[in-house]
């Protein structure tokens, strides 16, 4: 009798656990649809990545991902509620469910992926930590910064990287902690610190806002690996899949030559490339597998273009940041950007 009770209890516990898992898997997409907007965590302000235009609308490389994800769900990239987060507040916001996805120049690390319970859905930008300082400082290398005061954002990987770099090179420094990139910019320009350290892309974005950028230099050393990308909470595999394949669709679209300008024409009927057909929903059932409409890929690309178009618009050589593609070029062009096939 006791054995039967134990077995019944175990069976009930297993059923409850299974139902909980199923509910978790379906939860985020259902919640987003019921709410009518995607809650996307972004930077408080970083040129090229997350900034407001003259009309007060959020724009940028990271913002474009939020819009692409919203488009996959709603058919339009307008249904996004942006939540501005600092280095300290971004992870609690994701853990608590305040946001559905974080798209805020965040480095994929072991501890964040495993210990904090997040799922990084891919790398959208390969970066590395650097330093910027005034030319009047007289230093030509970050290895000449012994005794310097350094502005650094708290709650970021740059804190540990900074300590490691100075320790390895047997140098000392004075940390000047700040919360946001804008605070760091103001502190640096007010000469509260000798140098500012963050991701190299962030340094380029910050330097682009200076009145006298010619009087400042980004030192040649890159002292860390910083693979940046969007992330979601663990435990909802369907939501992770959606977030991941939106990024993959943007990357694959560039490789296949699908652009904001030609996507509607290509989607009007099946063509000769089965990868394009499956991505645009004219062949196969990828949308159904994700719990989305068959034209989810069309909606993603028509909203802001493919990965290359988004990079060029917000970060490329014709912007104030003037960044080369470099390692962020497609693998076919000597870079590291690569997405799995759409099949």
Range 196-223 average pLDDT? 94
Supply the pLDDT for residue 181. 87
What average pLDDT score do residues 242-266 get? 98
Percent of the chain with pLDDT over 90: 87
Q: Considering all CA atoms of the chain, what is the largest pairwise distance in Å, rounded to the nearest integer?
A: 85
Cα torsion angle, 106, 107, 111, 117, sign: positive
Quote the DSSP letter at residue 86: -
Residue 14 confidence (pLDDT) above 70:
no
What average pLDDT is seen over the chain?
92
What number is the average pLDDT over the span 228-249? 98
Buried b (16+ CB within 10 A) or exposed e, 240-270: bbbbbbbbbbbbbbbbbebbbeebeebbeeb
Instruction: Say whether pLDDT at 15 is over 60.
Output: no
Whether residue 158 contacts residue 129, with contact meaning beta carbons closer than 8 Å, is answered with: yes
Lowest-confidence region among 7-21, 111-125, 309-323: 7-21
pLDDT of residue 6 exceeding 60? no
Residues 6+ apart with CB under 8 A from 274: 283, 343
Q: Which of 15-19, 308-312, 335-339 has the lowest mean pLDDT?
A: 15-19
Q: Give the mean pLDDT of 200-208.
A: 92
Residue 16 has pLDDT above 60, yes or no: no
pLDDT at residue 217, rounded to an integer: 96
H runs (alpha helix) in the chain: 2-35, 61-74, 90-96, 110-114, 157-168, 181-189, 200-207, 237-256, 263-267, 274-280, 286-290, 296-304, 307-314
What is the pLDDT at residue 154?
86
Would you state the pLDDT for residue 155? 81
Task: Report the half-sphere exposure of 136 (CA within 13 A, side-chain side).
Answer: 5
Mean pLDDT across 54-74: 97
Residues 304-319 have a mean pLDDT of 97
Using a pLDDT cut of 70, give the percent of the chain over it: 92
Mean pLDDT of 84-95: 95
Residue ranges of the domains in the chain? 17-126+228-333, 129-224
pLDDT over 70 at 24, yes or no: no
Q: Mark out the alpha helices in 49-180 (DSSP H runs).
A: 61-74, 90-96, 110-114, 157-168
Q: Is 148 exposed, middle or buried (0-12, 13-18, 19+ CB in 10 A)?
A: buried
Average pLDDT over every residue of 91-99:
97
Please give the CATH number for the structural domain made up of 17-126+228-333: 3.40.190.10
Architecture of domain 129-224: 3-Layer(aba) Sandwich (3.40)
Q: How far apart are CA 257 and CA 295, in angstroms?
A: 17
What span, in angstroms and rounded, lies between the C-alpha atoms of 122 and 311? 16
């Amino acid at each position: 009798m006791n054995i039967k009770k134990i077995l019944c209890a175990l069976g009930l516990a297993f059923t409850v656990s299974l139902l909980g898992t199923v509910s978790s898997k379906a939860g985020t997409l259902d919640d987003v649809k019921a709410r009518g907007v995607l809650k996307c965590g972004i930077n408080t302000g970083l040129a090229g990545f997350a900034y407001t235009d003259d009309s007060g609308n959020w724009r940028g490389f990271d913002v474009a991902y939020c819009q692409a994800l919203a488009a996959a769900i709603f058919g339009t990239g307008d249904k996004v509620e942006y939540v501005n987060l600092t280095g300290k507040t971004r992870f609690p916001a994701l853990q608590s469910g305040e946001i559905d996805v974080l798209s805020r120049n965040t480095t994929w690390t072991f501890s964040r992926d495993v210990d904090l319970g997040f799922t990084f859905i891919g790398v959208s930008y390969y970066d590395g930590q650097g330093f910027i300082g005034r030319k009047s400082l007289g230093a030509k290398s970050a290895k000449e910064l012994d005794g310097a005061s350094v502005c650094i954002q708290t709650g970021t990987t740059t804190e540990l990287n900074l300590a490691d770099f100075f320790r390895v090179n047997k140098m000392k420094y004075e940390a000047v902690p700040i919360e946001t990139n804008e605070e760091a910019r103001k502190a640096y320009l007010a000469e509260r610190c000798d140098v500012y350290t963050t991701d190299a892309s962030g340094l380029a974005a910050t330097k682009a806002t200076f009145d006298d950028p010619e009087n400042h230099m980004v030192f040649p050393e890159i002292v860390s690996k910083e693979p940046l990308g969007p992330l979601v909470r663990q435990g909802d595999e369907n939501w992770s899949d959606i977030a991941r394949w939106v990024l993959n669709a943007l990357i694959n679209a560039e490789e296949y030559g699908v652009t904001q300008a030609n996507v509607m024409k290509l989607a009007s009927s099946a063509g000769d490339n089965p990868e394009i057909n499956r991505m645009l929903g004219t062949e196969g059932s990828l949308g159904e597998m994700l719990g989305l409409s068959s034209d989810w890929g069309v909606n993603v690309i028509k909203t802001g273009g493919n990965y290359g178009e988004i990079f060029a618009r917000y970060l490329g050589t014709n912007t104030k940041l003037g960044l080369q593609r470099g390692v962020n070029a497609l693998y076919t062009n000597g870079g590291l950007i690569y997405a799995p096939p759409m099949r």
